[in-house]
Amino acid sequence: MFFHTTATSVSRSIQLLKRVGVRRISLMVSWLALVLAISACASPGKGAHTERALQIMAERCRVAGEYIHSTVRDVDGIVLLKPRVPDLDFSDQYLMNDPYGRDGDGKGYIVRFLRGESRQLGVAKEGEPQRKGYKYVQARETDGSDWKNYTGAVEFSFDRARPQSPPSSRFVSFEEPIQLPTARYGVSYEDISTREDRDHWIAGSRLSVIDRFTGEVLAERVGYMVDMGFGSRVNGRRPWLHAADHACPSFDRFPGGEQRQKGFSMQFRQTADFVEKVLLPVD
């Protein structure tokens, strides 16, 4: 039975925790929680297909996590080496468009890295991502053609009819064409799902932070998620959105919150949150 397999994995993982140290403990605990939660779905009535899906997911979660090899301070700008295409499809089982790494699309994905864009979210609480942002971001058009340099600013406006009221603010972005990117550090992603993964509605992702001048990979985040509805579209259901609720690492970057949010709603800004752990923005 799968639960026996899970129990064995837990025992082995406890030994692994002793070897990997504190840095990886939280990620391993998240993996154990996910495996225990989804193992309950592997009842005899679910069939061999479901049990195999859970077994694959358990195997994938053992290698999932954040691998930060080195960090860099005072980074003012970055290069997005691969654009996020607009009009993502959340129901195509075999489209290799990295549904785990979903983080907006088109220009929306680009501006999330800019300083001031997250101002609308308010002041971050203790333990939450601070989201400082970068002074500029260089990226291609979504069709992979021309390069552009993006910057942003927060604009304030006052209501003359109510001079005592605090000013309202909005984030605006600016762009200008460039021939080639100049920033040293780049961010890229790839869909690492195998055919068997997708046969069982599992999606895999690798997010990489790279030193473009040396070719060194500074950090990687490897993640997987599984749709426990196995592609069901009942009542307009969108499989890859629901899969985000069964992910490792989890998309919940606000542990201990009063109300747990849906996984897909927490996917946004996941890339910038990870990148800022590696490339610390300049003050």
Question: What is residue 154's predicted lDDT score, i.e. its pLDDT?
Answer: 84
Question: What is residue 207's predicted lDDT score, i.e. its pLDDT?
Answer: 98
Output the CA angle 253-268-191, nearest 5 degrees.
Answer: 100
CA contacts within 13 A on the Cβ side of 25: 8
Enumerate residues 6+ apart whose C-beta is below 8 A from 114. 133, 134, 135, 136, 137, 150, 151, 152, 171, 173
Question: What is residue 94's predicted lDDT score, i.e. its pLDDT?
Answer: 93
Beta strands in the chain (DSSP E): 65-68, 72-75, 77-80, 136-140, 147-157, 168-178, 185-191, 202-211, 217-226, 247-248, 279-281
Question: What is residue 36's predicted lDDT score, i.e. its pLDDT?
Answer: 54
Question: What is residue 42's predicted lDDT score, i.e. its pLDDT?
Answer: 46
Enumerate residues 6+ apart whose C-beta is below 8 A from 66. 27, 219, 220, 221, 249, 274, 277
What pTM was estimated for this model as a whole? Answer: 0.78
- Cβ neighbours of 157 (radius 10 Å): 9
pLDDT by residue for the chain (283 residues), tens only, comes to 333 444 444 444 444 434 434 344 455 555 555 555 555 544 444 688 889 999 999 999 999 999 999 999 999 999 999 988 776 678 899 999 999 998 877 888 999 999 988 754 444 555 555 678 999 999 998 777 899 999 998 887 777 777 777 777 788 899 999 999 999 999 999 999 999 999 999 999 999 999 999 999 999 999 999 999 999 989 888 999 999 999 999 887 665 554 456 677 778 889 999 999 999 999 8
Spatial separation of the C-alpha atoms in residues 38 and 35, rounded to whole Å = 5
Question: What is residue 19's predicted lDDT score, i.e. its pLDDT?
Answer: 42
